[in-house]
Amino acid sequence: MSTAPAPSVPVVTMTDVSKRFVIRKEKSLKERIVNLGRSNKHKDDFWALRGVSIDIEAGTTVGLIGANGSGKSTLLKVIGGILQPSTGEVRRRGQLAALLELGAGFHPDLTGRENVFLNGSILGLTQQQIAGFFDSIVDFSEIGEFIDTQVKFYSSGMYVRLAFAIAIHVDPDVLLIDEVLAVGDEPFQKKCLDKIAQFQREGRTIVIVTHDLGTVEKMCDRTVVLSHGTVIFDGDPVEGVAALRANFS
Amino acid sequence: MSIESQARISRIATLPFEKAGAPAGGLISGVAPAVRDIWGHRALLDLLIRRELKARYKDSALGFVWSFIRPLTMLAIYYFAVGQVLGAARSVPQFAIYVFAGLTLWGLYNEIIAGGTTSILANAGLIKKVYVPRELFPLASLGSALFNFVVQFVVLLAAVLVLGQFPLSWDLLYVPAAVVLTVIYGLAFGLFLSAVNVYLRDVQYLVEVALLILFWASPIVYSFGMVVDRATARGQEWIVTLYQLNPMTDIILAFQKGIWRAGSETTTTADGTVIPPQPFPADLDFRLLVLAVVGLALLLVAQRVFARLQGNFAQEI
């Protein structure tokens, strides 16, 4: 959709990033003591990512696709700094916002208003910025007078709309999105996609994890296809989607 | 490509690269970036503390009053059960002030550690989805504990004033010193235990039991003088040494020396009994200094252990 910038300015560089999960089969103290010394037998290693080295250029929209359990979300969390890679290094620059879950940190007992300030702050906005955006957030969410009601009384739609309204007011250079757009009714989804198109025009870098291959073909400049933690394709979205489909069959 | 987008990209091109996630670093060199990271999120810390305070009594009719009822009930119980029934009040002048002073400071310590230990798990949803310096969660527990402490401390001050016992002397300086030391030790243990608790959930139950034992191993409802008397009577002075290894012993004694004037004076009760001044450790100032140095070292170690363990929080929770 948007054209890639001519001079390549990387915002995220990953060198040989691997992530190992250790699956322990015993948790209790008794089991641990009984199996002391033999504990290696009771551990399973699982490599969620293996030797991933990619650079992401500023102003591009990258779609991460792959089968369930191929490591897409793990990769997104590693970029976001939520998980630390076992080996390798992720370096990045610019302001980053991770929308891995809408309304992360919403407290059910607090009012919508209080949660706007809390969640906005978690996403990296200052209090002054949130105060400035506040009316616009309430407008976008269409919550109206319920903004001073405790969030636990919200319908799930209201909850998500408020959370999304906050999320689109963050001003990141890099935006990580994990399936969160697959919520809400059709008009609302359209609103979300419009907002993302606007973000693209503004030169923001977007990394999106999704199973919606149609969206990837339409929206992204580039696709990274993961399979069992390794990159099996990196390049044009249409070819990437074809590569993933070939991998499925 | 729009001008706005071009401007953003050229701005990014000038920025230096940074490592994603929590700042790494060695034993000493890692502390400054971690502190800077936390300082950068101080507005969020403030909101997290408010969230904890607001959410606590949100739907209860009495609300905030409950934070007075608990300590006052404890005061009443210890005053009657230990003071009057078991007779501890006979050798301790102004027993109510004495007990409440100890309870107030212990409450701070207890809340920092107990709240801190569970703070990481309680915020699992956030930790799995966003990166914020994870130290914020134990620190938020510390903040709400301090707020409750201040409220109780105001009650204590009011009681001291009403009973005409206001301690106008240089000893008053022991009060802030004791509070600072309590915060240092509470935070050191809270940070360490919160990280360990992610990997071994037994810790939170162990902490509850340990705090209960340590409460009775500190001079709160009985006096330090009783410990010294019993130990010397048996010729086993090592018991006092052992007793003072609990950091809260000296810290609480300092707090009491500051706020509880009757302890430093000779008191004559209504029935004519004369109570001599309470024994305080002779080298209290020096001991507090040592405690401060040890406490800061512990805090440093706790932060480093926390920094090491936090890399895997998001997957272990």
Count of pairs with CB atoms under 8 A, one residue in A, one in B: 131
- Across chain B, which has 317 residues, the per-10-residue mean pLDDT values are 80 83 71 87 90 82 82 88 85 88 95 95 87 92 94 90 81 94 97 94 93 95 90 89 93 93 80 81 92 96 91 82
A159 pLDDT exceeds 90?
Answer: no
* pLDDT at A2 (0 to 100): 47
Give the contacts of B89 (CB within 8 A, at least 6 positions apart): B79, B83, B95
Q: Chain A: give the shortest CA distance to residue B129, in Å.
A: 6
* CATH number of A167's domain: 3.40.50.300
* pLDDT at B237 (0 to 100): 86
Of B126, B128, B311, the CB nearest to A84: B311
Contact A92 B18 (CB under 8 A): yes
A182 pLDDT exceeds 70?
Answer: no
> Chain B residues with CB inside 8 Å of A94's CB?
12, 15
- Our count of domains for chain A comes to 1
pLDDT digits (tens, 9 = 90+) for A21-32: 877 666 666 766
Residue with the larger pLDDT of the pair A40 and A71: A71
Domain membership of residue B11 (yes or no) is no
Of A5, A77, A98, the CB nearest to B1: A5
Of A82, A89, A204, the CB nearest to B131: A82
Domain coverage including residue A99: 60-84+94-248
Contact A80 B17 (CB under 8 A): no
Contact A29 B202 (CB under 8 A): yes
Helix (H) or strand (E) holding A61: strand A61-66
- A64 bridge partner residues: A209, A224
Domain membership of residue B22 (yes or no) is no
Of all residues in chain A, the percent with pLDDT exceeding 90 is 24
| Predicted complex ipTM | 0.81
Give the contacts of A57 (CB within 8 A, at least 6 positions apart): A4, A5, A8, A9, A10, A11, A205
Ordered DSSP codes for A92-144: E-S-EEEESSTTTT--TTSBHHHHHHHHHHHTT--HHHHHHHHHHHHHHHT-G
A175 pLDDT exceeds 50?
Answer: yes
A235 pLDDT exceeds 60?
Answer: yes
Q: How far apart are CA B156 and CA B235, in angstroms?
A: 37
Decide if A56 touches B, using CB distance below 8 A: no
Which residue has 């993933």 as its token pair? A244
* pLDDT at A38 (0 to 100): 61
> Chain B residues with CB inside 8 Å of A123's CB?
130
Domain membership of residue B61 (yes or no) is no
Of A11, A13, A202, the CB nearest to B5: A202
Lowest mean pLDDT of A37-51, A144-158, B24-38, B254-268, name the range: A37-51
A183 pLDDT exceeds 70?
Answer: no
Contact B20 A21 (CB under 8 A): no
Q: Name the pLDDT band for A184 (thresholds 50, 70, 90).
A: low
Decide if A59 touches B, using CB distance below 8 A: yes
Decide if A114 touches B, using CB distance below 8 A: yes
Q: Chain B: give the shortest CA distance to residue A225, in Å.
A: 22
* pLDDT at A1 (0 to 100): 45
Domain coverage including residue B212: 27-46+68-316
Contact B126 A9 (CB under 8 A): no
Domain membership of residue B63 (yes or no) is no
C-alpha separations of B174 from B20, B180, B251, B272 in Å: 44, 10, 9, 31
- Nearest residue of A to residue B203, measured between CA atoms: A29
Lowest mean pLDDT of A98-102, A191-195, B268-272, name the range: B268-272
Task: Supply the mean pLDDT for chain A.
Answer: 84
> Chain B residues with CB inside 8 Å of A170's CB?
none
Q: Name the pLDDT band for A43 (thresholds 50, 70, 90).
A: low
Domain membership of residue B54 (yes or no) is no
pTM of the model: 0.87
- Our count of domains for chain B comes to 1
Q: Which two tokens stand for residue A31?
A: 């089991």
Contact A122 B9 (CB under 8 A): no
Q: Chain A: give the shortest CA distance to residue B177, in Å.
A: 33
Q: How far apart are CA A204 and CA B5, in angstroms?
A: 7
Domain membership of residue A108 (yes or no) is yes
